[in-house]
Amino acid sequence: MNNFWTSLRKPIFALAPLSGITDSAFRRICKGFGADIVYSELTSSTAFAYQPESTLRIMRFNDSERPYVVQLFGNNPEHFASAARFVSREIKPDGIDINFGCPIPKVFKQGAGAALMTNPALAKEVILSVIENTPLPVSIKTRISVKEAGLLNFLDYINGLDIKSIMIHGRSYAQGFSGPNDIVTTRNARAHFKGIILANGGVKSPAEAVALLEKTGADGVGVARGALGNPWIFKWLKTAYTGNPNGRPSAEDVCGTAMEHARLSANLKGERGIIEMRKHLCWYLQHVPGTRALRQKAVKIRNIQDVADVLEQVTGQLC
Ligand SMILES: Cc1cc2nc3c(=O)[nH]c(=O)nc-3n(C[C@H](O)[C@H](O)[C@H](O)COP(=O)(O)O)c2cc1C
């Protein structure tokens, strides 16, 4: 097994999975700015049986994204086993991740995502079924707690399984996506898990990354919303560590990257790629002062020329 996790330089800066957002186009952009590892959007292990085409679309990637990890969710060990075999054979990413953190009702109600933390026996079966059906390194992504189920007990229960890495979203299921990050539990996870630990939650700047790393003793951080319209964050995080902090990107830089992102998205997904680009364009514009009014145009883009027109108004010249 090629366990890429151990060859990554620390601290590791990962683009955390974001459903509907971290597609191949966005992952390539983030990789270009220095993300050490990128995750796919969460992908149903069960969907292989019913919607193979759309499932495959979510997983496709370009070699420039490596190391690239496919994240699976579900609640049926057999589905995980066949998904793991298929992903290893046909998709050939660098790793497979299992989602134990998703709180959204559609996932949670089927006993998948965060719900699996409340059913450690099934969680263990799921992890084993992936490990036994892939030569790739297996990682997991969890929350701090889900209802009565705490992370540390969960880690003790699955202790001994060959899990190479864990990304810990330092919030409880009840917190959803806001509120304080439980740094203490993330730090204590070190005594319960031998592999790579990535702390996640609330990193939007080098200062926040440094604080999270220092307080948790993690090997790296996962950045999710901090990268929206702001893929520079990876460069910014890295240069902060080399003592050569980069400033904010100029409006021209933002436009150039937004245009590159739109072209990639259109090439990969056609018209749908442009529609999906609407939200990204709004996020990019949030990083350019004085562009609030332009966001009304950004949410209506229909083709690559519309993107260029919006960005032209930012820079006063074609991007
Ligand atoms: C819109 C959205 C989609 C998400 N999709 C996923 C996903 O597919 N898989 C996953 O493990 N976590 C997902 N997450 C959780 C993030 O990976 C991350 O744990 C969370 O946003 C906290 O990190 P942040 O504060 O850096 O955003 C999602 C979060 C949001 C806001």
What is the atom index within ligand 1 of the atom nearest the CA of 225?
27
The pLDDT of residue 247: 64
Ligand 1 center to 18 CA (angstroms)? 5
Q: Which of 177, 186, 230 to mutate to test the pocket of ligand 1 (most atoms within 8 A of CB)?
A: 177
Is residue 30 part of the annotated active site? The answer reads: no
Ligand 1 center to 276 CA (angstroms)? 17
Q: Which of 13, 19, 107 to mutate to test the pocket of ligand 1 (most atoms within 8 A of CB)?
A: 19
Ligand 1 center to 214 CA (angstroms)? 22
Task: Return the CATH fold of 251-315.
Answer: 1.10.1200
Ligand 1 center to 15 CA (angstroms)? 10
pLDDT (tens place) for every residue of the chain, 319 residues total: 789 999 999 999 999 999 999 999 999 999 999 999 999 999 999 987 777 788 888 899 999 999 999 999 999 999 999 999 999 999 999 999 999 999 999 999 999 999 999 999 999 999 999 999 999 999 999 999 999 999 999 999 999 999 999 999 999 999 999 999 999 999 999 999 999 999 999 999 989 999 999 999 999 999 999 999 999 999 989 887 666 556 678 899 999 999 999 999 999 999 999 999 999 999 999 989 889 889 999 999 999 999 999 999 987 754 5
Q: Of the listed 102, 255, 282, 319, which one is catalytic?
A: 102
The pLDDT of residue 318: 44
- Nearest residue to 253 via CA among 205, 207, 311, 307: 311
Residue 44 CA to residue 52 CA, distance in Å, equals 10
The pLDDT of residue 246: 61
Q: Are 161 and 192 in contact (CB under 8 A)?
A: no
For CATH 3.20.20.70, the residue range(s) in the chain are 4-241
Which residue CA neighbors atom 6 of ligand 1 most closely?
Answer: 18
Q: Is the pTM of this model over 0.85?
A: yes
Q: Are 143 and 151 in contact (CB under 8 A)?
A: yes
CATH architecture of 4-241: Alpha-Beta Barrel (3.20)
For CATH 1.10.1200, the residue range(s) in the chain are 251-315
Spell out which residues line ligand 1, taking CB within 6 angstroms.
16-19, 41-42, 71, 99, 101-102, 141, 169, 177, 200-203, 223-226
Q: Over the range 214-234, which residues count as b (16 or more CB within 10 Å of their CB) and which as e?
A: eebebbbbbbbbbbbbbbbbb
Give the DSSP per-residue string, 125-184: HHHHHHHTT-SS-EEEEEEEEETTEEHHHHHHHTTTS-EEEEEEEEEETTTTT-S---HH
Q: Is 140 exposed, middle or buried (0-12, 13-18, 19+ CB in 10 A)?
A: buried
